[in-house]
Structure 1
């Protein structure tokens, strides 16, 4: 696996050509197109454990995990069995089913949220939570942070992260709004501050706090690379409630990924609302938002804030989520094992980069990790501007070196990679061997 080989990409190339004729850019989510790293995206045929197999039959050690939900590994037997059983009863009802209640009870029990509403994606979760906050407070402005990505709703595509940080040439993208098609008037309702800048947040709230409906944030950022909050910043976030604003933790990526109670539990946070996705669906399309009962009871049909979805609470997604959360509850030591793997991976990558003379800064927490190609000290990449100083060309060269050696890393400098329970000693050794060889191919 760790010897660079000219893997055939003929089938992926053919599929990509077909896809470009019928799908914008040939993909259904931008970062999949490999625009910032070059080459042809791999079309995946199957996945098992820690590995993917593409349409050409090449096997890759996977560090994306479907962008986070595969914490147990791909095609986990318990999840597969749960979905198979649910499938026997039908694919969608458009009516309540018991699994919705079972999963909601699990989430409430693990997180302390008092009410939960299911949707079909993380974007729907954050969009709905913000509408709820506006309905609850009677205010219209929201605050977000540069590099935090909360889905592709219009009002949130303002100085967002990940795929929006690089354009086709791999350079930094434009300022807010981050996407064409977002009216400036709508974007103007979103106030943007730097992440990990408590003084700026305090100053804004002192000046305009009574206008702010909500402050939304990623407890640990994964869409500008992994950015870890400082204690002072977390304290400032909690102070926004002194002004009547709703504090919303976007845990679409970190929920149940960093602990059984998410990043909010790991970091001892107390948000009013939380948004979930990824792991809550065990790999199937799902999202959820929830929190304080007095706020959640403003949601229709209990209250005046409308939100609906035919596929919300889909029985297959509920079954996958239930199976995943039950497995996590039954294996409480898993999070320590994932953190240990990430710690050793970070140390090995750091050593390999130093031997090759390639400057890197590595951030990791729990099972999330990003290698920033820049000479900043570890832990000093704390905001969007610092992440943006990374050498995207060097990252692209390293990414291609890994890919040619059978390691499927996130195809963007500005993403987290994810470690699963299926990653063990053999996978760690293979990764570090391939990474060391790939660093040797990077021009420093």
Structure 2
């Protein structure tokens, strides 16, 4: 057992106050000027209203930075995957410039599901929401709240998800932080011998969801902010239930349980005794070691800015490609028939439209939202949940997973995507039947 932290007024106060601020900003709904939403959303809307028309140039600048970074850092040609995505980012910059300056075919500008949706609805929202959320994200992640919560999850992680108790921190990191942060944690622990290959595979493909910040964007797009807490917590529960099921199916069930080559296995300590007392001590340890609040906020903000620059160009390029495929080819209509029996079985309104919309999630997790903005609330809820809990998409998460040392193949990821989407439809559909 780790040594006890000293319960000084400073470390205890930092844990309580900072964690409370993070919880308030992300989870407490307040009403301002007749609009009920979380403080983070209110703050983002205020910043965007102050910036007015100039915000599109800030978005364009962020996209330009994201397109240039791989070439500035010399990472664009490290692998075929890096070359492909670096090229996609350049295409994304071109698309953003076309929208801002009115270049190119009129259809791209007049069709509300193309440039207007990708740039104005998605990129503009993310460009300001993610950095502002990052300012407050450190209050959720750096001062002991994650460690406090994780202690209570440890007793069930192995039994339900077949992963060590420490993987609870990875799961929480994804929901309150980002999949990129969680994947960094997972890959590092795998290389240190603290996860087996199977455990790392489960964590990377089962817990690495988009963050709370992205969920806010989805909820705003589909007009679900009045139901924010209901949407957030049901999505979290559904995502974890889906993961508990797929770990017992192919391909996850067949992944080797050996450790990575050349590492010394380091199984985790089994925690016994009073969990509340241990959780408090772990929280104080984290709070005591957290360092300067200003430095933590700056680090978190810097990571948020880097994420914005990384994801916006791919949304404009891969997102546009996915939208064009969805609007002008039958590909996703065909793929949608895989999911149609399940949306119909769960009595989701516009079942075929929802199924075909969800088929686009493999390209970009935001795309399904574009096709159901005007749908019934039950349909919007199902899409909002499934596009989070299906988890895997080519514009960001899949490249991140493939860039780790964890052995993962694209065919296995595609099988997992189908499994997770079907299970998510069934569970979200059941919730929608009772609630809406």
| TM-score range relative to shorter protein | under 0.3
- Structure ranking higher in helix proportion: 2
| TM-score normalized with structure 1 length | 0.26
Query: TM-score, structure 2 length as denominator?
Result: 0.27
Question: If each structure's strand is expressed as a fraction of its own residues, which one has the higher value?
Answer: 1
